[in-house]
Amino acid sequence: MKKVLFLTLMISSFLFGKNIKTVEVLKRLEDSNWVLVDTRDTNEYNGWNLSNLKKNGHIVGAKDFSYKWLDKKYLSTKNKEILKERIAGKGITLEKNIILYGTDVDNIEKVSNYFKSQGLENVFKYNLNENLDYEKLPFNSYENYEMLVPASWLKEKLDKKEVKVYEASWGSIKDAVVYLAGHIPGAPHINTDSVEPPPAWMINSDENLIKFAEEMGISKDDNIVLYGDDVMASYRLAIILKYLGVKDVRVLNGGLDAWKNAGYKTEMGVTKPTPIKEFGSKVPLKKSLIVNEAETKEILKDDKKSKVLVDIRSYNERIGKESGYSYWDKKGRIPGSVWGKSGTISVTLEDYRNVDNTMRNGYEILTMWKKLGIDKNKELTFFCGSGWRAAEVLFYSEVMGMKKNSLYSDGWIGWSTNSNNKIETGKEE
């Protein structure tokens, strides 16, 4: 053990402060004393080729820490703590040798300086553009990374009129202050009340959902990109459109912020949708994506244990300390469900996002699930209070390549509305 530590220190002292080469990276891919960290745009880690490389995605085994997370707007006190926790969770520790890689010298240096400010001194740099033999390294991507799009891709597709874009948020257009102040050019506003009407805010009937799509000018054959200032709303709408059977539904990774940060223009005022006469089907084409209460009970009865009901709510909601909603007073959890974490309160999802509201590293999500006893190979049905948080997590699971997962859209509120349904409270063993 002492010999290994001595050799590690010798290597570190020899390489410290130097830009390392591909051959050195190759030697350390399987070395547990070394950690590879991708400093690029999160979308590049996911699989998008935004730097004209000959390979897309990330180096196999690499962690991610995007330079974009260090923008001042994201460094609130809370986010600083999240970044510290994530660094440790990625196995980036004082005794490890850290290889920061990317395609831009300044961005790599930005992350390097931050790591050093956190006491991480064994930091080395690897620039893909300066080492053209990077092709020798193994790369990987999420199976369905294209479901989450970067702003540059959306801009290109909009210029070519190859996609339709919509901004989603709760409230009527007159209350949509952010939308009116500046939205992506050509994007109509979708009020989420259209798909989950008050006062219950449960998912609308199939007939009304198809009518909503027609009013918004959305057909089953369209290519749709959704976004929002609050990204959660866009995922809620995305799952509903996928449920209806829209051919291609994607979400702008990071929402409106991602568009603005890329330097693209927004427009003020209202963009009205152009209604169509026929959606293309009278019924939803992917019914299995959203399950009702009766189907949820069947999942809980599954003798083969091949299906799992996953609770995407805060810990305080899970144990019954709070309902999570100002308009709902019933507290507790669905017996037989498994906790999948979410965030600190009902409107946040820190456990599944980066500080810039992009999707968190998928491997970290899977590791978190494993610790919670959630098997990725089973059919997972996600629920939360009324479908928003769970829809986002379901979408992420599909980005990672899972194909049989679903959403219990009515969630805890729907379940606890029925007085005949059992509930549990208190801490779990």
Residue positions annotated with a catalytic role: 384
195 token code pair: 């798909």
Residue 52: exposure state from Cβ atoms within 10 A (0-12, 13-18, ≥19)? exposed
Full DSSP string of 119-171: T---EEEEEGGG-GGGGGS-EE--TTGGGEE-HHHHHHHHHTT--EEEEEESS
Looking at residue 287, its pLDDT comes to 97
Residues 6+ apart with CB under 8 A from 408: 290, 291, 292, 293, 295, 296, 309, 381, 382, 383, 390, 414
Sign of the torsion formed by the C-alpha atoms of 248, 360, 342 and 344: negative
Is 80 within 8 Å of 52 (Cβ atoms)? Answer: no
Q: Burial-class residue 296 by CB neighbours within 10 Å (0-12, 13-18, 19+).
A: buried
Q: Which of 80, 66, 168 is nearest to 350 (CA)?
A: 80
If residue 255 lies in a helix (H) or strand (E), which one and from where to where?
A: helix 255-261
pLDDT of residue 174: 79
List, in order of start, the domains of the chain with CATH numbers: 2-141 (3.40.250.10), 146-285 (3.40.250.10), 288-417 (3.40.250.10)
How many Å apart are CA 252 and CA 175, to the nearest integer?
22
Taking only the tens of pLDDT, the chain with its 429 residues reads 444 444 444 444 444 458 999 999 999 999 999 999 999 999 999 999 999 999 999 999 999 999 999 999 999 999 999 999 999 999 999 999 999 999 999 999 999 999 999 999 999 999 999 999 999 999 999 999 999 999 999 999 999 999 999 999 998 887 788 999 999 999 999 999 999 999 888 999 999 999 999 999 999 999 999 999 999 999 999 999 999 999 999 999 999 999 999 999 999 999 999 999 999 999 999 999 999 999 999 999 988 889 999 999 999 999 999 999 999 999 999 999 999 999 999 999 999 999 999 999 999 999 999 999 999 999 999 999 999 999 999 999 999 999 999 999 999 999 999 999 999 999 997
Whole-number pLDDT of residue 17? 56
